Each structure stands twice: as structure tokens, then as C-alpha cells.
Chains A and B, each alone.
Chain A
Amino acid sequence: MSHYLVRRTAILLGSLFLAAVALFALLRLLPGDPANALLPVGATPDQIDAARRELGTDASLPSQFLSWLAGIARLDLGKSLISTLPVGPEITARLPVTVPLTLTAFVLAVLVAVPVGVLAAARADRWYGPVINAVAQLGIAVPAFWLGLLLIAGFALNLHVLPAGGFPPDGWADPGLALQSLILPCLTVALVMAASMIRYVRAATLDVLGADYLRTARALGAGAREAMWRHGLRNAAVPVIAVLAMELATTFLGAVVVESVFALPGLGSLLVRGISQHDYPVIQGVMLVSTATVLVVGFLGDVAQRLVDPRLRLRSAS
């Protein structure tokens, strides 16, 4: 296992470096210049040159890349070109919105998806098995922003029970208010996520239901429920964990759209703003943090899978 961890960590770091290179290169392929966001119509050529010098966008690309990389090594993500503020604290300031939103939605989705998915598989012969399946399929087709608008229309505009968007200026100083403003965004993310999870859980459970060991367990006298509980779920969990890790990562990135619909000051809105202003350090910072999160979650998912499934451990040991 320790051998595996070392190898897996090396892969993680290598992927991070590749991601950093790709990020930097792709951004520089975009036409335009960050200085433009600072300059109004009416600026003179002298002003434009001065702004470019000030922002350092007139420096050569390799030297820009190296200084960025050196910064990352010191855990310094640089300064925003537009607001001139350090990017690191800017990102940390957004986490109290994005992290609770993502995690709560994720937990909610798992709580819904696992029992419903198992039920859909175990009771595929009853009328509600196919119904659950159909609803889940519909859920996958629904874009998150549209569901968000629908929830706003229902709960905020018509029933007036929840805010239509925004986040309290004092943040979590008043947890009640903060929670209130996250309910609809959480629901939006959770419902969309649960829809695709249900289908994975259902498929994994169906696989297990047809497995030999389950039939053997039944033959040895275990009831359907007991066999499922003791042998089925654990086997079904293996593929589901891999999918869950991917889903969590997607949610983190997908929060961009939902945050915009609900006017939440999270990482998503920071990213959107950075992109519209060509603010390289901000875009690179947010994307790097997101990429790192995705990679780390994937890493943890892989490790968890091995813990659950002894076969994986044995296979790499031999």
C-alpha cells in the first residue's frame, strides 16, 4: 500500500505540473491584452504602452511563466492585474461560499441517490423502478441554471420564503442568514447531481444482484435483504466511489454557473470576472486551485477504492 501511495502521489504532482503548463499556455493563446480592461476608450498610445509595462504583459512568455511557477512554489499565486490585490487571499475569501455549497450539495445528493438508486435496482420489477429511472434520466437532461431559475421563481418570487440570491455581506457572522441563502443553490446542485448518481448506483446494484456470490449467499440461507446488506452493497460501492469522486469534482467546477444565477460571491463569480477582464493571475489561480482539488479528490477516491476492495490491493502487490 505504501508503495502504491508513493507512486500515486508522484502521478498527482506530475499531473499538477502539466496542468499548470497547459493553463498558462492556453490563456496566452487568447487574443487581447489584460491592459485593455483598465483602459477606457480615449486612452492615448502612450497610456496603453505604460499600462502594459506596468502589468508586465510586455515581458517574454517564458519569463512570465517562470515567475508564476516560482510564485506557486512559494504558495504565492501573484497579484490580480486589475485590482492589484494578491490572488491567494482573494480565493480564500470565496471558499466560505463555494466549499459549503459544494459539500452540502454533494452530501445531499448522495443521501438521495444511494437509497433511491438501490431501490430502483432492487425493485426494477415494480412500477416505481422504471419511474425512478425515467425521472433520473430527465434530471440529467435539465441544465443546472434552468433548474435554479425554476426554484427561484417558485420559492423566492412566488412563495417569498427564500432569498432569490446573494449572500450576506457579513458572511457566516449570522449562520442562519448564510444558510438561508445557500438552500436554493444547494438544492439546484444536489438535484442535478443526484440524477446522474442514481443511474450509477442503480447500474452498480443491478450488476451485483446478478452476481454468483449473492446467489451463493442466498443458497446458504441468507435472506434477500441480509445478502444485499452484507455482500451486495460493499461490492456495488467500488464503482460508485470512483464515480462519486468524479462527481464531486464536477460539482466544484459546475458551481460557476449556479453561483452566477444566485449572485453568490464564490469562486465561480471570481473566475467569470477574471475571464472577462483577462486577469491572468486570477484565472490561473482559480483554475489551479480547482484542478488541484479535482486531482486530490481523484487521488482520495482511488485510495478509498483500494481500502474498500481488497482485490485491488492484492493485484498490485503480486
Chain B
Amino acid sequence: MRKILAVVTALSLAGVLAACGDSKSESTTPKADAIIQIGSVYEPQNLDNTAGGGQGVTEALNGNVYEGLFKLTDTGAVEPLLAKDQKVSDDGLTYTFTLQPGVKFQSGKALTSADVKASIEAVTAENSKSARKSNLAVIKSIATPDDATVVVTLSSRSISFVYNLSYVWIVNSAATDRTTKADGTGPYQLGDWKRGSTLSLTRFDGYWGTKAANAGVVFHYFTDATALNNALLTNAVDVVTSEQSPDALAQFSGNSAYQVSNGKGTTKLLLAFNDKVAPFDNVQVRQAVSQAIDDTKLLTSIWGEYGTPIGSMVPPSDPWYEDLTSVNAYNVDSAKQLLATAGFPNGFTFTLDTPSYDPHPTAATFIKSELAKVGITVTINTITADEWYTKVYQKRDFVATLQEHVNDRDVVWYGNPDFYWGYSNKQVTEQITAAEQAKTTDEQTALLKQANKTIATEAASDWLYLYPQIVVASAKLTGYPVNGLNAQFFAYGITKS
């Protein structure tokens, strides 16, 4: 018994010591030497975005350690970054970029056109795992007439070319082992990456642009959303990049020590039909299913007051956004009629391949109960993310599936009849191809709006809702990005008081 007492005493002592260490001096002016503690559930798999680094590497390094010729700002605009100047030939096939002068990598080496060439080629290389590889297939050749000039020749016009370049990190062409080290031109240099725990960035004093407003940031990685929220509640982290647990929001939104932002997301939850196989090769069946599901009710049940109902694949941050929620809107009577006309007056049965992680199982159960009201029986088949990729994405062995699509400007997949959902409409394909080859962004926007309207009308998929992008931060923090488009999280503007 005495031993137990001793243990208990030791523990309480440790507790008291911890309490003493916790009291920090308070002030309200931003501190330039502050280190910002960032909490996230997206740990990078490795540090190379052309070798499957995943969403986490974009969040931690994009714009912070690595920069592109252009950057996608937090509001969705494309601005020049390492490209000081660009000239486009009249036929739209030759792009001449002049690089910012005086740019140095964190290793000290000066940026040259050779680095830019090597960086673009890393994305288009044979073993590249970049999702942007196919977008950059239009590149015919890259020339470097001098150290400050890069000339890219395309095989056909590509109005998204500059936008696509914002995903190409300019890396030191002499760098080896990009999977565990990083040498970019951004405002931070890579500190220490303790796998499974933290990744730190420290301010790079040789940065060519405006220096970071803080001395550094530390990303803390969590596998458990509750643990992440607890870290914020105990001030172990200052900000959570993307709140994934709707139930946890109440404890922050009602508390003046925290600020909760409701930004513009780009992640859409899709009920994706296999448009090539029965019964979903029938437009009326797809329309009926879309109209039979009350998307707003689903959104509210999962996210409460957050998130946005969406009528198509285009999120509001895309330039060709249009509110299409009224197309194939919730209408059970009309859904029943459509089913009858399509030859299914008594409904039918189909299997819904459902990824096992949130929010898919909840959404699947909701869809099942909604569709039961129009006579359709849903069999829910739960699969892992990995299985989804093999079964649905590669083998196309599915009838319908749920999936979240995270990127902006990804409506263009509906122009590719070989994409996993197999939507094939010649007119849409032509419009999307023509949009890419448009001479002006107005022309591009007009064409994509038309295509978008067609896919919405034909219910190519059912776009259930747009995820909210919720950043929860300590009230002492300012200057953090709220939209985090495509998982970016620019940390250099953050100050802590």
C-alpha cells in the first residue's frame, strides 16, 4: 500500500510541476519571433509531390518551402511568383518566362532557368506520380536561352497552362533525395521532420520576397481527430488547418478564445454513377436518383450550419461557377415519374461501393433510406480507400460509388470519356476541349459554363454537397489562410500575439 501511495504522490507532484510550467506571460502585440504550432491530420507520406507525397506535402511545403512560377492565391486567383514576366506568342503555343532576379534556394544556390526546366520535367517524367502529369502533356519542348529565361513550346493551345504551372514546384536541379529533404526558394527552410509526429519549418532569411511574419512553424500530425481538437483546447497547437469533425465545432464556436472560419472549400462529395452500365446509362434514371435525394438535409445532418449545397461539379471558387442547385432539385414525385418513364415503375436494386471512412458510410445510409421512398433498394458495399482505387478507379468494376473529389477546376474530367465514371457526351467533350484551347479566359469560361450546365442537366453524377473548409484558430492568431484551396496552407503571413 505504501508503494501505491508513493506512486500517487509522484504523479501528483509531476502534475504540479506541469502546472507551473504552463503559465505563460500574456501580451497582445504580434511577436516576430513567434513559432506557430499548426495541427493537422495530413502528414506527408514523403516530401516529394511527384513521388506520391500526398495532400500533406502540399499543405506543409507548397508556398512555404517550395514556390512555382505562379501561385494560386487563397482566393483562387493565379498570380506570378517566380516568373517576373511572361510573353505568349500570338498562336498561343510559345510561352516565354523571365525569372525573378536575385532568387536563391535555401541551400544558397541561385535560381536559374535550368532548375525550372528540370522541375517541369520531374512532373512529366515517366515515373512521375503527379496528378498533373496529364495536364502538362501538351508541352512539346523547354528551352533555356539564358539563365533568366525559359521558353516553353506547346503542341496545342492550353489556356490552363499557367494555372497548371502553379502546381509545379521549382526545385534545385542538383538536389538529391527529395523524399526526405527539401531545397526550394520559399520563405521557410525545412527544419526537422519527425515522422509520425512533427515537421518544422524555420524562416529563411535569404528569401527574395517579403520575409515570413513569424520565426517558424511546426506542423503537428494526428491520426485521431479528437486528439487534434484536444491539442487545440490545451494550447498545444494554435490552429487546425482543416477541421474534419463537425461534432467538435460547438466547443470552439461558442468560445471567445477561438475563431472559427467558414472558408470556400473545393472538396465535393459525389454519388458517382457508372454512366456506362445499366441502369445508370439511362439519363432519366440518373435524374430520378438525383431528385430523390434531399442533399440539403444530408448536408445539415453531417455538417450542421456549415458546407454548401451544390448543383454541379464546379465550386464557387472556380471562375465558371454558376448556381445550379435548382437543376434536378429534390422532388420525390418527379423522381417517381422519371423512373416510370424509364421503365422502372417498381424501382430496382443496385450496389453502392462506399469507402469505409467518414463521411461516406453516413451518406450511404442516408441515400439508402431516401431511395427506398421511390422504390429503389440500395445494397451498401463498404470498401477501403485502397480497394476503391483498384476496384472502382482502375477496373471500373462498379455501378455506383461515393467519393470525395478535392481539387478545384476539375469539372474537365467530364470531358474525358475514359474517366472512371464513364460519362460520354460528344458535345461536352468538344466544349471542354475547345475551352482548353480558347484564346481568352472569357471564351474558356463561357464554354465551361455550357458544359457544366449539360452535365448537371443530364445528372452525370449526383453532387451531394461542397465540404466546408473550416479553420479553427486561437484568437491570438491573425493572417492565416481560410480557404486552403487544394490543401494549400500558406503559413508565412501568420502572426501570434
| B is a partner of A | yes
Question: Which residues of A come within 8 Å of B, CB atoms?
Answer: 30-33, 36-45, 47-48, 50-51, 54, 82-85, 90, 93-94, 108, 111-112, 115-116, 119, 149, 152, 155-157, 159-167, 169, 171, 176, 179-180, 183, 187, 260-263, 265-266, 269-270, 272-273, 276-278
User: Are the C-beta atoms of A44 and B198 separated by less than 8 Å?
Assistant: no
> CB-nearest residue of chain B relative to A38?
B52
Chain B residues near A45: list those with CB within 8 A: 394
A167 to B126 CA separation, bound complex (whole angstroms): 40
User: Are the C-beta atoms of B14 and A183 separated by less than 8 Å?
Assistant: yes
Please give the distance in Å from B280's CB to the nearest CB on chain A. 19
Instruction: List CB contacts (< 8 Å) of B370-418 with chain A.
Output: 383-387, 389-391, 393-394, 403, 405, 407, 410, 413
Q: A162-B18, A164-B234 are in contact. Are A115 and B4 (CB under 8 A)?
A: yes
**B369 CB-CB contact with A under 8 Å:** no
Chain A residues near B16: list those with CB within 8 A: 161
User: Are the C-beta atoms of A166 and B220 separated by less than 8 Å?
Assistant: yes
User: Are the C-beta atoms of A162 and B15 separated by less than 8 Å?
Assistant: yes
Q: A32-B390, A278-B386 are in contact. Are A83 and B46 (CB under 8 A)?
A: yes
A159 to B14 CA separation, bound complex (whole angstroms): 13
User: Are the C-beta atoms of B52 and A37 separated by less than 8 Å?
Assistant: yes
B19 touches which of A32, A160, A269, A276 (Cβ 8 Å): A160
Query: Other CB < 8 Å A-B pairs besides A161-B19, A166-B231, A277-B45, 5 of them?
Result: A31-B391, A83-B180, A94-B196, A162-B18, A260-B227
User: Are the C-beta atoms of A167 and B52 separated by less than 8 Å?
Assistant: no
Please give the distance in Å from A239's CB to the nearest CB on chain B. 22
User: Are the C-beta atoms of A169 and B223 separated by less than 8 Å?
Assistant: no
**B7 CB-CB contact with A under 8 Å:** yes
**Does more than half of chain A's interface fall in helix, strand or loop, or is it mixed?**
helix
A116 to B1 CA separation, bound complex (whole angstroms): 8
Chain A residues near B128: list those with CB within 8 A: 47
A44 to B126 CA separation, bound complex (whole angstroms): 11
> CB-nearest residue of chain A relative to B229?
A164
Interface flags, B407-443, vs A, CB<8A=1, else 0: 1001001000000100000000000000000000000
B384 touches which of A32, A43, A163 (Cβ 8 Å): A32
User: Are the C-beta atoms of B197 and A167 separated by less than 8 Å?
Assistant: yes
Chain B residues near A270: list those with CB within 8 A: 196
Chain B residues near A277: list those with CB within 8 A: 45, 386
A72 to B19 CA separation, bound complex (whole angstroms): 46
User: Are the C-beta atoms of B234 and A157 separated by less than 8 Å?
Assistant: yes
**B285 CB-CB contact with A under 8 Å:** no
**B233 CB-CB contact with A under 8 Å:** yes
> CB-nearest residue of chain B relative to A108?
B7
Chain A residues near B7: list those with CB within 8 A: 108, 111-112
A113 to B393 CA separation, bound complex (whole angstroms): 53
Chain A residues near B91: list those with CB within 8 A: none
Q: A48-B394, A115-B4, A166-B197 are in contact. Are A260 and B223 (CB under 8 A)?
A: yes
Q: A50-B126, A265-B194 are in contact. Are A187 and B227 (CB under 8 A)?
A: no
- Which 8 interchain pairs have the tightest Cβ spacing? A38-B52, A32-B386, A265-B197, A164-B230, A265-B196, A40-B131, A36-B389, A42-B131
Interface flags, B109-144, vs A, CB<8A=1, else 0: 000000000000000001111111110000000000
Chain A residues near B131: list those with CB within 8 A: 40-43
Please give the distance in Å from A40's CB to the nearest CB on chain B. 4
Chain B residues near A82: list those with CB within 8 A: 45-46, 52
Chain B residues near A272: list those with CB within 8 A: 223
Q: Number of residue pairs across A and B with beta carbons under 8 Å?
A: 178
User: Are the C-beta atoms of B227 and A169 separated by less than 8 Å?
Assistant: no
User: Are the C-beta atoms of A169 and B218 separated by less than 8 Å?
Assistant: yes
Interface flags, B217-232, vs A, CB<8A=1, else 0: 0101111101110110
User: Are the C-beta atoms of A83 and B179 separated by less than 8 Å?
Assistant: yes
Q: A161-B18, A273-B196 are in contact. Are A260 and B224 (CB under 8 A)?
A: yes
Q: A33-B390, A160-B22 are in contact. Are A169 and B197 (CB under 8 A)?
A: yes
Chain A residues near B385: list those with CB within 8 A: 36, 276
Chain B residues near A261: list those with CB within 8 A: 224, 226-227
User: Are the C-beta atoms of A36 and B390 separated by less than 8 Å?
Assistant: yes
User: Are the C-beta atoms of B51 and A38 separated by less than 8 Å?
Assistant: yes
Chain A residues near B218: list those with CB within 8 A: 169
B227 touches which of A37, A90, A263 (Cβ 8 Å): A263
A42 touches which of B134, B220, B390 (Cβ 8 Å): B134
14 intermolecular pairs with C-beta atoms under 8 Å apart? A30-B386, A37-B386, A40-B129, A42-B132, A42-B410, A44-B133, A48-B394, A54-B127, A82-B52, A83-B195, A164-B231, A167-B197, A265-B196, A273-B196
A160 to B230 CA separation, bound complex (whole angstroms): 11
Please give the distance in Å from B37's CB to the nearest CB on chain A. 10
A263 touches which of B194, B200, B228, B413 (Cβ 8 Å): B228
> CB-nearest residue of chain A relative to B125?
A50
Instruction: List CB contacts (< 8 Å) of B134-174 with chain A.
Output: 134
Instruction: List CB contacts (< 8 Å) of B17-64 with chain A.
Output: 17-19, 22, 43, 45-46, 51-52, 54
A167 to B51 CA separation, bound complex (whole angstroms): 28
B200 touches which of A163, A164, A169 (Cβ 8 Å): A169
> CB-nearest residue of chain A relative to B393?
A41
Chain B residues near A54: list those with CB within 8 A: 127
Q: A39-B52, A164-B227, A165-B230 are in contact. Are A111 and B386 (CB under 8 A)?
A: no
Chain A residues near B224: list those with CB within 8 A: 260-261, 263
User: Are the C-beta atoms of A152 and B197 separated by less than 8 Å?
Assistant: no
Q: A31-B391, A83-B195, A161-B16 are in contact. Are A262 and B227 (CB under 8 A)?
A: yes
User: Are the C-beta atoms of A31 and B390 separated by less than 8 Å?
Assistant: yes
Chain B residues near A51: list those with CB within 8 A: 52, 127, 129
A249 to B403 CA separation, bound complex (whole angstroms): 39
Please give the distance in Å from A132's CB to the nearest CB on chain B. 12
